[in-house]
Amino acid sequence: MKLSNLLALSLFSLSLLCSNSNAQETDKNTLNLTTQERQHNFGLVIGFAIGEYKNSTQDGDGFIQHYLFYNYRIIDNFSVEVAYNTATEFDSWQCIETGEDSFTCGSRDKLLFGLLANEMELDSFVVAIKGQAPLSKRNSLYAKLGGQYYDYKFTRNGHFVEGEDGTGVFFEAGWQFQWGMGIGMNVGLRYQDLGELTLKSPNVGISYAF
């Protein structure tokens, strides 16, 4: 084998060893990062919201929410978050005994807020500032404050009854925990001002930070 080829092979082998060593060191350092040191974070939050609408006597109707988010750390303990949020009405179920060892179950499709509507759909886009107060290396309290563009409608059998779109306030606060590999969880309380409609919800979520 020529000396030049041997030298090239040696350099290539050395570069592979160095790359592997650096990758292992990077992975090790990543595992040691705290929640406050990771630059990117994304996840999914699910909650059950209680709604209030136009001072309705039937306030308290329930909605299921899904909140998909991404946030980017700008400085220690502060990040910018963008998110897409949806909500739909929560249908309770009732089972009636129709015979011996026989039951019929169906949705209790009640009207929402006294309207002639039994379905609701919400879409909103959120931009917020998130701050966190570390309690330990893996635990922290957090709060989010921002604005949202929303669009919701109440319908009955697919026919529009009423709705609204606009901008409103978004606020959430809670507790979060993150394991060394970047997977995290959170529980929190959220408030959303959607014009004539307000939603308040406890939430639980899962996320990944890197």
Which position has the higher pLDDT, 186 or 96? 186
Structure tokens at 50: 């209680």
Query: Model confidence at 2, in pLDDT bands (50, 70, 90)?
Result: very low
How confident is the model at residue 56, as a pLDDT? 81
117-141 pLDDT per residue, tens:
989 999 999 999 999 999 998 999 9
For the chain, the 3-state helix, strand and coil shares in percent, each to the nearest 5, are 15, 65, 20
Q: Which amino acid would we find at residue 174? A: G
| Burial class, 122, CB count within 10 angstroms (exposed 0-12 / middle 13-18 / buried 19+) | buried
According to DSSP, residue 199 is labeled E
The CATH class, in words, for 35-209 is mainly beta
* SS3 state of residue 137: coil
Predicted TM-score (pTM) of the model is 0.76
Query: Model confidence at 45, in pLDDT bands (50, 70, 90)?
Result: very high
φ/ψ of residue 68, rounded to 5: -105, 125
Query: Model confidence at 38, in pLDDT bands (50, 70, 90)?
Result: confident
137-160 pLDDT per residue, tens:
899 999 999 999 999 999 998 899
How confident is the model at residue 184, as a pLDDT? 96
| Burial class, 136, CB count within 10 angstroms (exposed 0-12 / middle 13-18 / buried 19+) | exposed
